[in-house]
Amino acid sequence: MPRVVVAPDKFKGTLTAAQVAAHVAAGLRRMQVDLDVVEVPIADGGDGTVDAAVAAGFRRVAATVTGPVGSPVDASFAVRGQTGLVELAAASGLAMLGDRRDPLGATSRGTGELIRAALDAGCTEIVLGVGGSASTDGGAGMVQALGARLLDPAGAELAAGGAALLKLARVELSGLDARLRESRIVLASDVDNPLLGPHGAAAVYGPQKGATARDVELLDTALARWARLVDVDVAGRPGAGAAGGVGYAALAVLQAVMRPGIDVVLELIGFDALVAGAALVITGEGALDEQTLHGKAPAGVAAAARRAGVPVLAVCGRCLLPPGRLAEAGIEAAYALTDVEPDITRCMAAPGPLLEQLAGRIDLASALR
């Protein structure tokens, strides 16, 4: 019986990765009953990463932490053995705010609290998946939650948010949780922006978080002060600008090792073993576009499948890549919801049934030849 591994990312704003996998699997099973379909929801370090880990056998651990604007939020992280997976979006995510953006005051403190909870759970390796951050605080809130002291000229603890860093006078790291020195921190990110400047955290991602042009200038100045006082020369490194500068704090203060998010996730869920001997892999995400080819989940899945000699197809809401570009990524063909329903509004309103119809259109006879 041929085995098909269905390994999609989420369709952002409509379906989780697990829901996408379930609908595709249902459509495939209706089309061909003698098929071993394995559902493997995936993520690239951003929203949905903990869910992907739990689906692969990690244990979910609940924690109440400080949300991006200071109010408590219910979050969770994933644990297997001594490895903990922390998803920034679960504690400090932009999606948690709805329309209540706070570009100057939002904090990454909750992410640090999740890391501390993972340490409390006995983890000695912590994977920090970043993406979808609400804050541009350079990771200051995260390290405060882990015991660092950020002091203003009067010796008082600094307030939350990126703008507060303008008043930063002294950084004391001696109080950092001692367990961090004995732990391996992995920064799972595909962002290659530096911390500062026209390609930095404030300039590129600040407007998405509600920052005006004046706010961006202020935040960039504040982040420069933060980097100067931390005094670890990694602000120019690719990835330092990830998640509003959380990447900088992870590299400079937590001494993290940075790796592509999808590579880390695929390794954690044991994807190479899952794909070994499979006849076909089906991956996908909401939109297949040029961004997909630069470290996004479907490209990572396709690369892993190609190493195993397994052909890859993709499903998506819409496909903006020509066949040649798909082929370069190792994807033989893409099937889009807009092929079934040209009205994008309807695709967004009822993607599940349409996805099952779409799966029924896949030419399995050719794909499994």
Clarify whether residues 34 and 71 are in a common domain. no
Residues 6+ apart with CB under 8 A from 175: 147, 148, 149
Q: What is the mean pLDDT of the chain?
A: 94
Over residues 111-130, the mean pLDDT reads: 98
pLDDT at residue 367 tops 80: no
Clarify whether residues 31 and 167 are in a common domain. no
Clarify whether residues 292 and 178 are in a common domain. no
User: How far is C-alpha 366 from the chain's CA centre?
Assistant: 34
- Which CATH number characterizes residue 274's domain? 3.40.50.10350
Whole-number percent of the chain with pLDDT over 90:
86
- Confidence (pLDDT) at 118: 98
Residue found under tokens 């996408």:
20
For the chain, the domain total comes to 2
Residues 6+ apart with CB under 8 A from 332: 311, 312, 313, 326, 367
Task: Give one DSSP letter per residue of 78-102, joined into a string.
Answer: EEETTEEEEEHHHHHBGGGGTT---
Clarify whether residues 273 and 203 are in a common domain. no
Domain boundary among 245, 262, 279: 262
31 confidence band (pLDDT: 50, 70, 90): confident
Over residues 30-42, the mean pLDDT reads: 90
Clarify whether residues 229 and 281 are in a common domain. no
What is the domain range of residue 106?
A: 49-262
Residue found under tokens 């961004």:
291
Q: Which of 69, 78, 16, 7 is nearest to 40 (CA)?
A: 7
Least confident of 31-35, 156-160, 173-177, 349-353: 31-35
Calpha distance 314→286 (Å, rounded)? 11
Clarify whether residues 195 and 334 are in a common domain. no
Clarify whether residues 307 and 359 are in a common domain. yes
The model's pTM is 0.93
Clarify whether residues 120 and 245 are in a common domain. yes
Over residues 27-49, the mean pLDDT reads: 91
Task: Give one DSSP letter per residue of 240-306, joined into a string.
Answer: TTGGGGHHHHHHHTS-PEEE-HHHHHHHHTTHHHHHTT-SEEEEEEEEESGGGGTT-HHHHHHHHHH
pLDDT at residue 368 tops 80: no
Predicted confidence (pLDDT) per residue in 3-28, tens digit:
999 999 999 889 999 999 999 999 99
Clarify whether residues 216 and 178 are in a common domain. yes
Clarify whether residues 242 and 284 are in a common domain. no
Whole-number percent of the chain with pLDDT over 70:
100
Clarify whether residues 110 and 237 are in a common domain. yes
Over residues 215-227, the mean pLDDT reads: 98
- Confidence (pLDDT) at 248: 98
- Which CATH number characterizes residue 117's domain? 3.90.1510.10
pLDDT at residue 34 tops 90: no
For 8, 9, 288, 301, the CA distances from 315, given in Å and listed in that order, are 8, 10, 9, 13
Cα angle: 257, vertex 330, 27; to 5 degrees:
105
Over residues 72-77, the mean pLDDT reads: 97
Domain boundary among 262, 285, 306: 262
Predicted confidence (pLDDT) per residue in 275-315, tens digit:
999 999 999 999 999 888 887 899 999 999 999 999 999 99
- Confidence (pLDDT) at 32: 80
User: How far is C-alpha 329 from the chain's CA centre?
Assistant: 20
- Confidence (pLDDT) at 6: 97
Domain boundary among 237, 262, 287: 262
Clarify whether residues 190 and 306 are in a common domain. no
